[in-house]
Copies of this chain bind each other. A is one copy, B any other.
């Protein structure tokens, strides 16, 4: 424990900044998560079926992931061809 006190002021300051940076980012993330909830609430109030809405968004996300995966595979092939 006595050893622990021997970190320099600079390091302490760096540590403090790192912690605060992460906490700020986490706060921003939480805020956006709240925004998402709000949008779903509005959609529900408008008459949309939020469960279906969530499914649509999940599907579109899978689609994007799939397309990116295919792009990666294509890149790999193209790279392989270039290397032949």
Contacts and interface: CB of A to CB of B under 8 A. Distances in A.
Interface string A36-76: 10011011001011011101111111110110011011001
A42 B83 CA distance: 22
Contacts of A56: 19, 73
> Which applies to chain A's interface (DSSP): helix, strand, loop or mixed?
helix
A19 to B, nearest CB: 6
A19 B52 contact: no
Given A59-B69, A70-B59, A22 B48 contact: no
Interface of A: 1, 3-4, 14-15, 18-19, 21-23, 25-26, 28-29, 32-33, 35-36, 39-40, 42-43, 46, 48-49, 51-53, 55-63, 65-66, 69-70, 72-73, 76-77, 80-81, 84
